[in-house]
Every structure is written in structure tokens, then in C-alpha cells.
Chains A and B, each alone.
Chain A
Amino acid sequence: MNEKIISPLNRVEGDLDLKVVFRGNKVIEAYPMSRLFRGIEIILKNKYPMDSLVITPRICGICGGSHLMSAVEALDMAYKAEVPPNAVLLRNIMALAEMGQNDVRHTYLMFMIDTVNKKYEKMDFYKDMVTRWAPFYGTSYKAAVKWSKRYTEIYAIFGGQWPHGSSMVPGGVTADPYPNDILKARGIINEITSEFIEKVMLGGPLDQFLQLKSVKDLDQWSQDYPNGDISKLWIYGREMKWDKIGKGSNFLMSFGHVPSAEDYTTENPKLRFKRGILNLDTMEFSSIDQANMLEFVTKSFYSYSNGDIGLHPFEGETNPLSPFSNDKYTFTKTFRYKLNGKLIAPEVGALSMMAVDNNPLIIDLLNKLGSNVLLREIARFVRLAIISEIIIEELEKFRFGEPTYKKPLDIAESKGYGLVEASRGSLGHWIVIKDNKIFNYQVVTPTQINMGPEDSYGNISHMSKALIGTIVEDIENPIELAHIVRSHDACMVCNVHVLDGNVEKMVLRL
């Protein structure tokens, strides 16, 4: 038995260490350990409800706009706000622009750079991968640095700045854009689409790519447009056996995204991307009720006043403990969903979002290959393509002269929640307001859903499942584990240490 600690495994949402236990070359145990506590939920207590719009985006520098959207939907619900169609459109455009930025940066700056790893040096396409995807120098890497910024410009046109704008407010948005703003945003998204998505990522026309419905179609695409990164990823990815690693949970979950502008409601909204859970074994779809969500702290550095139970976020507690404990090992709480009376630990992310929405290409890929590292990356390409189209559609629907804000009532005692699909998966905010102040605020993040520790029944979460059973070719270079963690949009780097007796030896930067 050989134990490795991957430390630090940095992410945009905090530092993560990963403890992995090997038997021979096979992972038999895996423990994601979150090493950073900032106490945002505690800071929000007793503050004004609207303050969540400024504080919660600062939970995460790469997906603050998603936190803003969750927070504002929770406040919309709490204040029974009516939101004018224009405002819903602008919120959607901002959320999708941030998602576009994230998916490009994740794919090229955080994930594809691992293709330069020495494991692949002997592959005959290694040179092509380095030419395209090497950090700082690869042609696609450079293009990604350039074009990911342009998405943030779209966000800033309506949100003032990215990151950390606060232009979504209960009842609408603070922005009141003029036709020239709409025109400019359209110009930018069109340019991103033609110069980057079509030329670099897909290698061919977007509208044609969106027609792909099956694995056969994707094979055809990679023959017709061999120069696109998606074609290379599809071919090289299988050669590198990325389709064989990182399965994980049997359930894919998505909170759904992009509410309909015409009839916006916070309870059971009409969504462009469906909300639900897909059972991978049966391909059965179930709807979601937030009342079935629970958080456990059995293995987390927190205590609950009523002991080791699962709490719904409305009743949630955040009482941190010192991170020294024999049986607790992480600052991440455990998320569980009660499906047909059983607690499940789902996977969230781009793949889940596309699968739950019944995207034909993704569904066919899942049917043939199951969930894996390669599909998670392909799902991001597919999502980026769809995002381009929706941003343009939403911009076209904007009506100048119509309101972008309707002041909601002040309600002194209320509750609300907001469920959105952030870039790396499902995100929820729950707010309880008493006396015009925040009585309780709880946030469930995608990273937490994927990487939480065991619950009080000993069931492990998705990321541990995805890692366990993995066979590593070279224990000194466990790049396979890096791919698995990274395919979930682990934005930051991490190091693997080998524990030889008590000597830590660094072997790999992930």
C-alpha cells in the first residue's frame, strides 16, 4: 500500500488537497480535502439581504456571476419580485458570457495543457498536441487567452465589470442598456464565434456542428473538419484512453439554466436547459425538488447543534471547527439528494447539464461510452457552441424602451432559494430573512456536490468514486488522476507528493 497526498490541489474556489491510497498501481481509496475556510455564510448573518449581491460573488473569482444569479433569484423569490422580460434576458446574457469565459479558460488554460505530459511523448500525435495546446506557446492556448477576455467584455457591457459586478438586483437589473450596447455585444459574440469557436475549437461552421446527433456524426465531423480542436480531442482522447477513466456517480444532476424571459417565475421556472437528474444505469429522468437536498458534516470540520444528521439548507448551520480531528478531514460539507427515498451523491458539471437537457449527441455518447473524462471535455465544447447561439437569441429579444427593473416590495420576514447552473455545475443559494436582516444564508457549490466527503452512512461522493479503481500507468507520474480531477473543472494546479515513510517527495504538478 502506497499513499500519496496531492497538495496543494488549488482551485479557483479554494485550496484542495487530495489523499489517494494505492494498491500497486490501482487507486483503492481517495479523499478530497478542502484546505481553506473563509466563512462567507457566517459573515452574511445579520447583514442586509441585498448585501448578498455584493458578498456572495466574492465566493469565487471565476464564477461570481453565477453566485450573483443564484443570490438574486433567491431574493426575487423572497421579495415576490416581478422581473421584466428585458432584465431576465440581460441576466441570462451575463450568466452565459461568464460561462463562455470559464469554459474557454478551463479547457485550454487548465485542462488541455496536461497533454504535454511526458506520458504521451511516445504518441505519434504528441507534436501536434504540443503545437496546439502547450501552455503559453500553443496556438490554441494563445487564442484562448485572447478570446476568453472578449466574453468578459460582453458581461461588462451590462454588468459594469467582470469579475465582481453586482448589476443583478431583485426585480431586475441596475443596467438600462441602449441599442448601441446591444449592438456592441452582438458584434463581440459574432466575432468570438467566427474567429475562435469556428476556426479554432470546432474547425467548421457552428450551425452545422449544432446538428450533430450521434457518435457517428461526430466521427464524420472529425473527418470533414480534421483541424478543429474538437476533432483532435475526439481522436487523440480515445488514443490516450481518456474515455476509460473517471466514471464516478451513476447520477447526473443539473439545476437547469436560462429562465424564460416572457414568463419568469422563481417557483418551477420554465428553463431553456432542463432541471433534473438522469440515472445513468436506466437513462431514467427525474425532476428535482429542492426540499430533498441535505448537507452532512460527518467528515467535515463543522459541528451541528443537533448532532450527526443531514440538514436542509434552510436549516443549515456553519459552525467551523479547528482542522485537527481524527475523523474529520475537509472544510467541504457533504451534499446528498433524496431520490425515491434513497440518498444519492450526483455528478454535476457541463456533461450533466447537457445530458439532463437531453442533448442528442451527449446522450448517444453516454449510451456508448458512459460518463468519463473525455466526455466531460466534449460536453464543454458542445456547451460553448450552444451558448454562442443563445447569447445572440437573447440579445435579439431585448426591447429598448421597455423596463429593466421593477421595484419589489420590502418583506421583513421571508425565505427564498435560487438554483442555477454555474460553469462547473449546479449551484444553490438559500436565504432566510427575519426582521429585514439575513437570519440564515447557505450556499451549496458544484465543487461541494462533486467533492464532498462521506455522509454519515459511509457513502462516498462522486469524485472519490471517479478516482477509485483507476489504474495509473506510472505511480511517479499519476497524470490520470490529474485528468479526472481536472475534467471537473479543477481550475488550479496541484502537486502530488509520494509518502515514503515520512519523507514527502514531490513528483508531479497537476
Chain B
Amino acid sequence: MRNLLWLQGGACSGNTLSLLNASDPDVFEFFSQHNIKLLWHPSLSLDSIGVKRIMEDIINGKIRLNIFVFEGSVILGPNNSGTFNMFAGKPMKDWVKYLAPLSEYIIAVGDCASFGGIPAADPNPTQSTGLQFFKKEIGGFLGKNFRTKSGLPIINISGCPAHPDWILTTISLISEGKMTEDMLDEFNRPKIFYSTTTQFGCPRQPYFTYKISSKELGHKEGCLYFDLGCRGAYTKSPCNSILWNNQSSKTRVGTPCMGCTEFDFPTFNFFHTEKNRSGIPKRLPLGMSRGTYVTFSAVAKGSAPQFLVRPLIKKKGDWIE
């Protein structure tokens, strides 16, 4: 029997709702299959003891805390008091401070808990931070050298929200004792999910390859990177290989990737590709230099198959070029 406690800081509950969308197995089947006891969860529990007692029992050593899941940012404001986020009579940050060293594993679920996310966006009115990262910098709330009882750092499952499969797979690896530090990337995210970019599996990939742009929103064809602000070429996520709600992904329905699994989310000026004076996108595809990009563009455009440069299914419009 493993105990799991789920708390929320500067959160919207998006990761909780995302988790409820899990299928095969659903979240309750998963817990029973993996012998996980949910000590408390802000939207799923019904017990008569209450979360405050549970947290105090953990702190007093009466209850073991195997897996501590935190959703939302850690709020330090105003003036490092943490009182913008009060929970069960204390600033939430204090509960985290007491519970973290007693946890065998800690999972930061979602972009806010991982990096600070939306609450930490400029001007960061609540002094929000992630558990062990503040945006790109390692450290965050618990500090660079913090380790849980298992010896691992905080495991970040970034994304806004995180996909239920990413969350449950990570918990299953932990509960089967298979999670090791070398399975994590430089942001302590499980490499199995955060190695390939959002472009992997994107049905628009041929349009990217031949530099054929969708010039306006509202269409299923054309690449969204060149004009419409898609961040899929330099964002690490499996969104187009492990689909959302068993159905789709942002880029499949013509919505540009917002880069929500990365430390710099939200970057703002969404839906728009920022370019420098020579018309080259400011953010280049992962691993590409300006020189290679310029060469790639020229070659790609010149060798584009003609059938791709016009609408394939809806025969009207000059929105693709």
C-alpha cells in the first residue's frame, strides 16, 4: 500500500480534471491496480478526518508519505509571506516546506508546479515559483540540492495541463520502483515523454518540411510555424503521438502549439510568429542555426511538391503558400 497526497497551490485544477480524463485504466482503476491509497485529494476525497489532520500526522511521523503530488505554483507573495495562498490555516508554502522532506517521491504536475507557469508570468504578481525550478533556473522553492527520501529530485511533469497518460505512467514507474534519475532530462522531466518535439506525429509535418505556410487560421492544411506562432518545432511534448482525450491535439485542429510544456510558458504574443528584419522567425526549430535555416528554406521551397502548395480538400482560397 502506497500513500499518495495531492495538494494544490496557485492552481486552476486543470491537471486534476485532466487526470479524470484518463482511460484504460481510468484513475480509480489505476489506484486500485497499483495499490495506491489516496490520502487526500481536493476534489475526490470524502473522509471524515480532514486534510489538516492527515498533514499533521505525516509531519508527526504517524503516516508515511510515499508520493506527494503538487499542482499549481508555490506562491511566495506578498513579501515572502505566502499569504496570497492560505490553506487549512497556513500559507500553502509552509505545508510544502514541512511535507517535502518527508516524501519518498514528489511529482510537480503541470507547468505551474514545474516552472511557475502562468501565475509566474510577468509581472509575477503573486511571487510564484515552481517546486524546484523557477522558469529556466534550477532552485525554485525547494532549492537546487533538495532530494526526496528516494534520492531523486522533484519529478516534473510539465504541460498546461499535463496529459493523464504522462501522469499515470510516471506514478506507475515510481510505484514499481523503476524510476531512476537518468530517466529524467535536464529539467527533471521523464525522458520518455519529453525527448521528441510536438512536431513528431503532427499531420502538418510535410508542410513544414517543404516550408509551406498556412497564412491564416481556420484551415486543416499548411504549417502553422512560419506565420501563426506555432511552437511545435522547438517544444518537447508527445502531444501528436499520445493524443488528447483519445482524439486530437492543438495542431490537428489548426491551433498553434503554445509551448506549454516548456519552462518559458507563457511566452505571450501567441498566434503570431515573431520575425527579425530579414523575415526569419526569431525562434528557430530545435537544433537549427540561422545558416542552416536559410539554406533549408531555400532548398525546401524550391523542391516542394506542387500538389501541396494549394488547398487539397477544400479547393478554394489563397491562404496557403
A157 near B118: Cβ-Cβ < 8 Å: no
B50: interface (CB < 8 Å)? yes
Known: A160-B244, A161-B248. A506 touches B49 (CB 8 A): yes
Query: Residues of A contacting B252 with CB < 8 Å?
Result: 160
A48 near B88: Cβ-Cβ < 8 Å: no
B13 near A62: Cβ-Cβ < 8 Å: yes
B250 near A323: Cβ-Cβ < 8 Å: no
A164 near B45: Cβ-Cβ < 8 Å: no
B246: interface (CB < 8 Å)? yes
Known: A12-B43, A403-B218, A495-B51. A163 touches B250 (CB 8 A): no
A125: interface (CB < 8 Å)? no
Query: Residues of A contacting B161 with CB < 8 Å?
Result: 61, 163-164
Query: Residues of A contacting B51 with CB < 8 Å?
Result: 8, 493, 495, 509
Point out the residue from A40, A172, A175 that lies within 8 Å of B118, measured CB to CB.
A40
Q: Which of A30-38, A191-199, A259-267 lies at the binding interface?
A: A30-38
- How many interface residues does A have (CB within 8 Å)? 86
B83: interface (CB < 8 Å)? yes
Query: Residues of A contacting B125 with CB < 8 Å?
Result: 37-39, 42-43, 320
Chain B contact patch, size range: 35 or more
In Å, the complex CA distance between A403 and B245 comes to: 26
A110: interface (CB < 8 Å)? yes
Mark A183-218 against chain B: 1 for CB-CB distance below 8 A, else 0.
Answer: 010000000000000000000000000000000000
The B contact surface, by secondary structure, is loop
A178 near B313: Cβ-Cβ < 8 Å: yes
Among residues of A, the one whose C-beta sits closest to the C-beta of B244 is A161
Q: A12-B16, A177-B253 are in contact. List 6 more A-B contacts (CB 8 A).
A: A35-B85, A36-B75, A61-B17, A148-B20, A320-B125, A509-B50
In Å, the complex CA distance between A169 and B218 comes to: 9
Tell me the A residues contacting B by CB distance below 8 Å.
7-8, 10, 12-13, 15, 17, 35-40, 42-43, 47-48, 50-51, 53-55, 58-62, 64, 87, 105, 109-110, 113-114, 116, 135-136, 142, 145-146, 148-149, 152-153, 155-167, 169, 171-178, 184, 320, 322-324, 331, 401, 403-407, 491-493, 495, 504, 506, 508-509
Among residues of B, the one whose C-beta sits closest to the C-beta of A406 is B218
Smallest Cβ distance from A151 to chain B, in angstroms?
9
In Å, the complex CA distance between A349 and B253 comes to: 31
B299: interface (CB < 8 Å)? no
Point out the residue from B46, B126, B253, B269 that lies within 8 Å of A509, measured CB to CB.
B46
Smallest Cβ distance from A424 to chain B, in angstroms?
13
B219: interface (CB < 8 Å)? yes
B89: interface (CB < 8 Å)? yes
A10 near B43: Cβ-Cβ < 8 Å: yes
B52: interface (CB < 8 Å)? yes
Q: Which B residues between 68 and 89 are near A, CB-CB below 8 angstroms?
A: 75, 78-79, 81, 83-89
B266 near A110: Cβ-Cβ < 8 Å: no
Query: Residues of B contacting A163 with CB < 8 Å?
Result: 14, 17-18, 161
A156 near B122: Cβ-Cβ < 8 Å: no
B218 near A155: Cβ-Cβ < 8 Å: no
B85 near A157: Cβ-Cβ < 8 Å: no
B10 near A36: Cβ-Cβ < 8 Å: yes
Smallest Cβ distance from B224 to chain A, in angstroms?
9
Point out the residue from B87, B88, B244, B268 that lies within 8 Å of A162, measured CB to CB.
B244
Smallest Cβ distance from A443 to chain B, in angstroms?
13
In Å, the complex CA distance between A184 and B243 comes to: 16
Point out the residue from A36, A55, A58, A184 that lies within 8 Å of B84, measured CB to CB.
A36
Point out the residue from B20, B43, B79, B266 that lies within 8 Å of A51, measured CB to CB.
B266
Query: Residues of A contacting B123 with CB < 8 Å?
Result: 42-43
Mark B243-286 against chain A: 1 for CB-CB distance below 8 A, else 0.
Answer: 01111111111111010100000101111100000000000000
Mark B38-50 against chain A: 1 for CB-CB distance below 8 A, else 0.
Answer: 0000111111111
Q: Which of B21-29, B96-104, B140-148 lies at the binding interface?
A: B21-29
B266 near A161: Cβ-Cβ < 8 Å: no
Query: Residues of B contacting A159 with CB < 8 Å?
Result: 248, 253, 255
Point out the residue from A136, A155, A165, A172 that lies within 8 Å of B250, measured CB to CB.
A165
B266 near A172: Cβ-Cβ < 8 Å: no
